[in-house]
Amino acid sequence: MEEEKKTDTGKTVRSKKGVILQLFGVVLFSLGLLNTMLTLKGGLEPDRFNYILIILGGVFIASGVWQSRK
C-alpha cells in the first residue's frame, strides 16, 4: 500500500519514504571508503572504524531501499 497524494493540479505524487536513510547511508559509505583509501595511500593499516562506517552505510542504504519499496 503506497501512500499517494493528489496535488492541486490533479497529479498523483508518491511519498518518498527512506530517502533520508539512503542519503545518510551514502554519506557514511563514502566517508568510510575515502578514509580507507587515504589511509592505504599513506601506507598505514586502516582502522576498524573505517570498516564499521562502510558496513553501517551499506545497512542504512539497504534499509532505505527496503522502506521505499513498501
1 pLDDT above the threshold of 90: no
Angle formed by the axes of helices 19-41 and 48-69, nearest 10° = 160
Which grid coordinates are listed for 50?
Answer: 573505517
CA angle 18-2-13, nearest 5°?
A: 85
Q: Comparing C-alpha atoms, which of 57, 62, 65 is closest to residue 33? A: 57
**What's the structural domain count of the chain?**
1
The pTM assigned to this predicted structure is 0.74
63 pLDDT above the threshold of 90: yes
Domain range for 46 = 12-69
2 pLDDT above the threshold of 60: no
Residue 6 belongs to what H/E stretch?
strand 4-6
Is 21 within the bounds of a domain?
yes
Is 3 within the bounds of a domain?
no
